[in-house]
Amino acid sequence: MLFSVVAALSAAVSVAAHGGVTSYVIGGTTYAGWSPYNDASTQTSIERPYSTYDPILSVSSSSFSCNNAGTASAHQLSANVTAGTSITAKWSQWTHAQGPVMVYMAKCSGSCTSNNSGSLSWFKISERGLISGTVANGTWGTGEVMNTLSYTTTIPASLAAGEYLIRHELLAIHQANTPQFYPECGQLIVTGGQGKTPSGSYLVKFPGAYSASDPSININIYSSEALTQTTYKVPGPAVWNGQ
Ligand SMILES: *[C@@H]1O[C@H](CO)[C@@H](O)[C@H](O)[C@H]1NC(C)=O
Ligand SMILES: *[C@@H]1O[C@H](CO)[C@@H](O)[C@H](O)[C@H]1NC(C)=O
Ligand SMILES: *[C@@H]1O[C@H](CO)[C@@H](O)[C@H](O)[C@H]1NC(C)=O
Ligand SMILES: [Cu+2]
């Protein structure tokens, strides 16, 4: 009895902070996401599995692409979505108000379920960094996620039909020079579109896209410079403009 109380308490502590994507709304339809603290073997969702709300602390982590070993679940689903449709990721909890939000996609060759996310090439479709104010005291994309527990973007209307992973990433920078990365992925089968795919300058690998010495990643928001800094370059490639 005592052991189960202790185990329940420590589980509660481990999920007390941080967060991860737990559902999606795509064109008005809600899709269940992954539940990292439930039995993995029986779960059925369009989200790729992940095991913890805890952050990834290294840009070279092997789990950097989708917060896991890169593989699909035993009962992996994919959502069917028309290019140009809005997609909202939802978090059951999120507690950090400083840092950017980034959304990437990667085209699979054939079926996403048989592709390792670490081998794919990713392009950015949305980012929201410092919205107003200063690096020290401003309003950030992740601050909006803290308030709304959601982030909405649009699958590019021009995007070529096919199977894709979509990757939502929160970068929390509230600890000086200790960035915390929170990426999760879902599987989409995109229809319609105009056959467009991004050129090579937009494509990156995870891990690989980010540098630990990037001043937007190795950042101290409590520095004196941060009090007057009103711009912040969101890490990673430019957002693909759909052309
Ligand atoms: C997507 O479409 C395929 C083919 O019609 C279907 O088998 C699958 O169940 C759909 N996915 C979801 C999550 O509904
Ligand atoms: C993705 O899976 C397909 C099978 O559907 C396979 O042919 C292809 O080599 C895989 N690509 C990568 C990058 O793993
Ligand atoms: C602005 O940020 C600095 C450094 O983080 C902090 O000491 C100060 O209290 C903040 N001011 C306001 C008004 O939030
Ligand atoms: Cu946290």
* Binding site membership of 44 for ligand 3 (Cβ less than 6 Å): no
Q: Per residue in 113-127, pLDDT tens?
A: 999 999 999 999 999
Model-level pTM greater than 0.85?
yes
Please choose, from the candidates 88, 78, 132, the residue with its C-alpha nearest in 3D space to the C-alpha of residue 108: 78
Q: How far apart are the first and last CA of the chain?
A: 61
The type of residue at 81 is: V
Token pair for residue 109? 């060759």
Compute, in angstroms, the gap from residue 100 CA to the centroid of ligand 3: 19
- Tokens standing for 234? 């969101």
Question: Ligand 4 centre from 96 Cα, in Å?
Answer: 6
Q: Which residue's structure tokens are 């991004």?
A: 198
> Is residue 71 situated within a structural domain?
yes
In a domain, 241, yes or no: no
Is 90 inside a domain boundary?
yes
Domain assignment present for residue 102? The answer is yes
- Structural domain that includes position 34: 2-227
The answer to whether residue 175 is domain-embedded is yes
Structural domains counted in the chain: 1
Task: State the Cα–Cα distance between residues 213 and 236, nearest whole angstrom.
Answer: 13
Q: Are the beta carbons of 141 and 127 closer than 8 angstroms?
A: yes
Domain assignment present for 140 = yes
DSSP string over 188-219: EEEESS-SB---GGG-B-TTTS--TT-TTTS-
CATH number at residue 188: 2.70.50.70
Both tokens of 6, joined, read 């202790």
In this predicted structure, what is the pLDDT of residue 8? Answer: 44
> How do residues 199-209 score in pLDDT, each as one tens digit?
999 999 999 99
Asked if residue 80 has its Cβ within 6 Å of ligand 1, the reply is yes
Express each pLDDT in 38-79 by its tens digit: 999 999 999 999 999 999 999 999 999 999 999 999 999 999
DSSP state of 155: -
Could you identify the residue written with the tokens 């909405």?
A: 152
Residues with CB under 5 Å of ion ligand 4 are: 17-18
Q: Is residue 88 part of a domain?
A: yes
Distance CA 165, CA 182 (A): 16
Residue 2 CA to ligand 3 center (angstroms) comes to 43
pLDDT(105) > 60:
yes
Structure confidence at residue 98 (pLDDT): 98
Query: Considering the domain boundaries, does residue 63 fall inside one?
Result: yes
